[in-house]
Structure 1
Amino acid sequence: MIASHIREEGNVTVSRLRNIPGIGVDRMGDAADAAQNRNVLRLENLDTDLRPPVEALRSTHQAVDDDNANSYLPFTGQTALRQAVVARMKQSTGLDYDASSECIVSAGGLAGIFNVLLSILEPGDEVVLTDPTYAGLINRVLLAGGVPRFARLIPSADGWRLDVDSLASAVSPRTRAFLIMSPSMPSGFVANAAEWNAIADHCRRADAWLVYDAAMERILFDGRRAIHPAALPDMRARTFTVGSVSKEYRMIGWRVGWIVGPARIMSDVRLVSLSNVVCQVGIGMPGATAALTCTDDGVAQCVAEWQARRDFLLHALRDLPRVRPDGGWSLLIDTSHFGLAPPDASRLLLDKGEVAATPMNGWGPQAQRYLRFVFANEPVARLADIRERIRAAWGV
């Protein structure tokens, strides 16, 4: 018998995958594609129909014919892109970062997060995340040998708020890192100043790292302003900021992200990056650089459009147990309120309502009761009859 393997449903699976169910979005996407019906509302995954910046498209086209873009070098990412990233960090935090020693370009934001986790975790170290949170973040903690601990987000008429008592309970002597996304998937939770200060206080007391997933940092609604945790007292030295062009810049297929952190640990992150994905997408980096440096990146206009879609859904679903997102691309509905487990609600919604939506199984302990609606990929005109579709599917 090989101890490192387990048998599940006739398959041999390595033990590191034992508690990783996947993310569900892939299966829902496959199911929606299999329906072969143009009328299906695609609310299951984080695609968007809004176009990238024109300058990013132009630079990417040019990069296809550029030999310098068809290269492994430099392994930490093109210099112009790293300089653009630290310039953005200066705008966000007021802090100076060195492009050569404190910034690494990654093959997308999630690859960057995984490389950071591999750089800071010993097997059994604990990582505090919010609940709900993106299953891909939880899965990467597990793959890196970490143990997820959860701080509860409280649904309320004021959107989602962090339960600070739950946060305190999640911290232990084994806490090595906090992995926080704001705005967060799938809830749209946006941490306010008091919540960020509570997180930072626990980081300092536990002598832990803060891994800040900034993928949606500027996708904020109702006039909210971004708060960057690295700018809080004594937090620059223990904060990794991981961003990407996927969401804000609508450049999902480019697979370009970045890691910014203190120089004392970035050499380890560089070693992991070289050992894991090796390098980034060469022809994607010039487009990413153009997105970060162009005169008008379109983010403000896109946020206004996404907020209009959110507002429409909040109104159309006002009689259902939905929770207001304050940023990001998605909102959650508590289907247990009317006696449906989210997987059953999802299946009925696709079969009878022609709506693809992902159940939140594996997205945190309390997430199991929610179904996620992504509003980034469908305009209001297409969403107009969503309440009728839900009624046809669920009878509510």
Structure 2
Amino acid sequence: MAAMTTSAGSPHGAPDAPRPFLNRRLAEFGTTIFAEMSALAASTGAINLGQGFPDEDGPEEVREAAVRALRDGRGNQYPPGPGVPELRHAIAAHQRRYGLAVDPDTEVLVTAGATEAIAASLLALLEPGDEVIALEPYYDSYAACIAMAGGRRVPVQLRPEDGAYRLDLDELRDAVTPRTRLLLLNTPHNPTGTVLTRDELTEIARLAVDRNLLVITDEVYEHLVYDAEHLPLAAFPGMRERTVTISSSGKTFAFTGWKVGWVTAPPALVAAVRSAKQYLTYVSAGPLQYAVAEALALPESYYEDLRAELRAKRDLLCTGLAEAGFGVYRPAGTYFVTTDIRPLTGGDTADGFAFCRELPERCQVVAIPNAVFYDDRAAGAPFVRFAFCKRTEVLQEAVARLKGLAAA
């Protein structure tokens, strides 16, 4: 006679421990540090230099384009699955600035921000057990999306050296195994501000071709480059046919809440990503897609002014952080600056989590501990990230508050 089981599935009537609601792939991922620190900012009245969103909206003409689309009834119902034609053509035109010829009908896919683009790409391209090499520290959604796809993440660390973070190409090569399916790159890189050089990208491209790897490149900070040049990997020899390029409007045009991103890739790769994406959001942000199409047509002076403004804010915050006693890694791109807190803690070891949780009470400023972006938490423990995509007067006030640390 078969053993009897309780409703919990235990033989002989013995109760089982309740099964967790969250599946095991996501068990290591709780509430994001961004939610925790933003809540701490709200509860203490601190200046929030943690989460990376601007405190001012983008161009007025782009907002008006969204209003006009709403009033004209464009996008209020389901837009086309790949995205509205106007935006797909604008994205294709945008890629031509890098010498990339993209077919707007077969090689462009509009997504709910870059986050969905990354998730859909990984879900589409990975089989359970496939390895994904990602540059560490990495944006937290990378780890979660790899896990959801059943992949295994393999971190290759960018290491601090001479005031910047560097990629060890030998370490990258050594990380590739027969199980490696793809490389997940982010340049300009969040949180370190590193911009991969032409020589580094050339070697990465050679590795991808030699080992027949796919590459997903997250290029959302492509226009936020100050001391370097943004070079899309897809433009390198042998990479056009194996690269999924991802970007978005949020960082470039300061409309992070709109969540309009995109994928460009060869038709077969776009079709694969679209197969996953259609079961995530299906479509999104219909009227806003028309507005982003107009944003991408802004003159080159818009991008030049954006870079100049953010460069000045970067320099303001970096100078203030150095005066407050932090070790500062001046970013070549993005709108984040990574700092070392060990000069303030007086030792070789430091706890970035504890530091960031105490900082709002000490200085009325919020930052993010970089350890959340590492598998190797000890490697990230001494480092803390600040965002400078805020109004100049807000940054000046934050710098004034942080100077109290040097006097403590």
Structure-2-length-normalised TM-score: 0.89
Structure 2 residue 347 is the aligned partner of structure 1 residue 334: no
State the Cα distance separating 1:50 from its structure 2 match: 4.3
Equivalent residue, structure 1, for 2:261: 257
Indicate the residue corresponding to 2:51 in structure 1.
45
Partner amino acid for 2:253? Answer: Y
Aligned: 1:225 with 2:226: no
How do 1:26-45 and structure 2 match up within 5 A?
A: 26-35=35-44, 37=45, 40-45=46-51
Q: Secondary structure at the match of 1:233?
A: coil
Q: What displacement does 1:336 show?
A: 4.4
**1:22 CA drift (Å):** 4.5
Does the residue aligned with 1:137 lie in a helix, a strand or coil? helix
- Closer/same/farther in 2, CA of residues 156 and 246 from structure 1, 3 Å limit: same
Tell me the equivalent position of 2:123: 118
Give the share of equivalent positions with the same residue, in percent. Answer: 27
Distance 2:182 2:223 in 1: 24
Superposition CA RMSD, Å: 2.3
Which whole-Å deviations, capped at 9, do the CAs of 1:189-229 have from their partners, x for residues lacking one? 1000111112212211221111111100121113x221111
In structure 2, runs of 5+ residues without a counterpart are 1-7, 11-15
Q: Which moved more, 1:328-337 or 1:171-180?
A: 328-337
2:3 aligned partner: none
> Per-residue displacement from partner, 1:10-33 (whole Å, max 9, x unpaired)?
963211212224531111111111
**Residue number in structure 1 paired with 2:172:** 167
Q: Are 1:351 and 2:361 an aligned pair?
A: yes
Secondary structure of the residue aligned to 1:310 is helix
Which whole-Å CA distance do the structure 2 matches of 1:175 and 1:83 have between them?
34
Task: Give distance in 2, aligned partners of 1:340 and 1:389.
Answer: 21
Question: Which residue does 1:361 correspond to in 2?
Answer: 371
Change (3 A) 1:270 1:387: closer
Of 96, 107, 110, the residue aligned with 1:105 is 110
Secondary structure in structure 1 of the residue aligned to 2:22? strand
- Name the CA shift for 1:86/1:7 in 2 (closer, same or farther; >3 Å): farther
- Corresponding residue to 1:130 among 121, 135, 139: 135
Q: 2:396 aligns with which of 370, 384, 393?
A: 384
Please tell me whether the aligned partners of residues 56 and 391 of structure 2 are also in contact (alpha carbons under 8 angstroms).
no
Please list every run of at least 4 consecutive aligned residues from structure 1 whose deviation after the TM superposition is greater than 6 angstroms: none
Which of the numbers 8, 17, 21 marks the counterpart of 1:12?
A: 21
CA contact (8 A) 2:320 2:403 kept: no
**Residue number in structure 1 paired with 2:32:** 23
Alpha-carbon shift at residue 297 of structure 1 (Å): 6.8
Distance 1:153 1:352 in 2: 30
Q: Does the 8 Å contact 1:63/1:69 carry over to 2? A: yes
What is the alpha-carbon distance in structure 2 between the residues aligned to residue 296 and residue 325 of structure 1? Answer: 23
Other structure's SS at 1:362 match: helix
Q: Does 1:322 align with 2:334?
A: no
Task: Work out whether residues 78 and 283 of structure 2, in 8 Å CA contact, stay in contact via their aligned partners in 1.
Answer: yes
- Conserved in 2, the CA contact under 8 Å of 1:53 and 1:297? no
Distance 2:38 2:9 in 1: 35
Is 2:216 the partner of 1:211?
A: yes
Aligned length, in residue pairs: 387
Contact kept in structure 1, 2:353 and 2:381, CA below 8 Å:
no
What is the letter of the counterpart of residue 358 of structure 1?
A: I
Does structure 2 conserve the Cα–Cα contact (< 8 Å) formed by 1:358 and 1:373? yes
CA distances 1:51-97 after superposition (whole Å, capped 9, x unpaired): 312331111011222323112131111001001101111112x1211
The yes-or-no answer on 1:72 pairing with 2:82 is: no
Partner SS state of residue 301, structure 1? helix
Q: For 2:210, what is the secondary structure of its paired residue? A: helix
Closer, same or farther: CA 135–65 of 1 in aligned 2, 3 Å: same
> Structure 1's 267 and 386: CA in aligned 2 closer, same or farther, altered over 3 A?
closer
Note closer, same or farther for the CA distance 1:2–1:385 as it changes in structure 2 (3 Å cut).
farther
Q: What letter is aligned with 2:191?
A: P
TM-score (norm 1): 0.91
1:349–1:393 Cα contact (<8 Å) kept:
no
What is the one-letter code of the residue matched to 1:70? N
2:161 aligned to 142, 156, 163, which one?
156
Distance 2:17 2:143 in 1: 23
Residue aligning to 2:384 = 371
Deviation at 1:394, TM superposition (A): 7.9
Residues 121-168 of structure 1, C-alpha deviations (whole Å, 9 max, x = no match): 001111111111211222211222111111111212252211112212
> Is contact 2:350–2:381 with CA below 8 Å preserved after alignment?
no
Matched-pair contact (CA < 8 Å) for 1:56–1:289:
no
